Structure 1
């Protein structure tokens, strides 16, 4: 299956190759996550949080912790050796936590994210044997929540506070940020 990536130099794009991240991937992962969510580079894509938060989205220590987590992994999507997207998966009992989902801004909207999410669901369900996947999304990210809902996630109405005062997660631009938990039963559309 071939798709075309839109942009100034549209080019045919093959399916990405998936692999588990190693500690050697940490610097590239930090760059990818930051570019997808913060700063000017993030505004090229639709997943930016630049209107809600300043500062960093993650750091090398946090990414290295996710990469080395005993009950988890960071999944990479690459094409021709280029890092396109990533996500974190962590086993939590009968569920898998899905986080750190990032797609290079110029590739957002081109189907890479759907492929990464599908591979994460497959891995969690088939290889780990868990029944559902959960995540937290900033409640004010209505467009992003709607994207997840179209992929079978449901809003739970369970909220957790944003870590105000901990600049490792960014500097909020508004006082009402909080996370909402989303859940998807695996094996459903």
Structure 2
């Protein structure tokens, strides 16, 4: 008697290509903006309206000399991504998105672990840096549980630059989070 085997493959990681850009824009937008983003817990829809990214911005990361846009696929479908940028002795982590219906199932932890491994082993990065909207308490707590620490170093939100969205409040700013990778 045969037993049923799960058809869900382990995640496959690879560097994004220009052909991935439309799918990556759709993934990032679905995770952060609009009603579709409310299916997951990473939505910014209560803080920002408008776009989260655009094809030009994603292509710039894909083509960047010191950057990599890590794509995560499962069963041949794009399910997550993150940006990595090599900056001297550290790496910057950004554009992190998991398909909303898959959030909360552990995929984000796996993607983050792969990003950290890559930055440490391929680039020799000693730290991972990221910026998070400081009003995102749940998200910051999630990163803290993964070893990131708050620095208290804030940078202003780029009000007036619609490439980053349309703010729904006037007190947004980014906080730098850091994790030691060594």
Q: State TM-score, norm by structure 2.
A: 0.95
Distance 1:80 1:46 in 2: 23
1:92 paired to 2:94: no
Contact 2:8 / 2:75 at 8 angstroms: preserved in 1?
Answer: no
Partner in structure 2 of residue 148 of structure 1:
143
1:101 paired to 2:105: no
1:174 paired to 2:173: no
Per the TM alignment, residue 79 of structure 1 is displaced from its structure 2 partner at its CA by: 1.1
Instruction: Name structure 1 gaps, 5 residues minimum.
Output: 1-10
Partner in structure 1 of residue 29 of structure 2:
34
Instruction: Name structure 2 gaps, 5 residues minimum.
Output: 1-5
Give 2:52's match in structure 1, choosing from 29, 48, 57: 57
Question: How large is the Cα RMSD of the aligned pairs?
Answer: 0.9
1:185 paired to 2:180: yes
Contact 2:9 / 2:75 at 8 angstroms: preserved in 1?
Answer: no
1:75 paired to 2:70: yes
1:84 match: secondary structure: strand
Per the TM alignment, residue 61 of structure 1 is displaced from its structure 2 partner at its CA by: 0.4
Partner in structure 2 of residue 134 of structure 1:
129
Deviations 1:91-141 (A, max 9, x none): 000000000000000000011100000000000001111100000000000
Per the TM alignment, residue 171 of structure 1 is displaced from its structure 2 partner at its CA by: 0.4
1:16 paired to 2:16: no
Per the TM alignment, residue 13 of structure 1 is displaced from its structure 2 partner at its CA by: 3.2
1:13 match: secondary structure: coil
Q: State TM-score, norm by structure 1.
A: 0.92
Distance 1:130 1:117 in 2: 15
Partner in structure 2 of residue 122 of structure 1:
117
Distance 1:115 1:76 in 2: 12
Task: Tell me the matched-pair count.
Answer: 177
Deviations 1:2-31 (A, max 9, x none): xxxxxxxxx763320000000010000000
1:30 match: secondary structure: helix
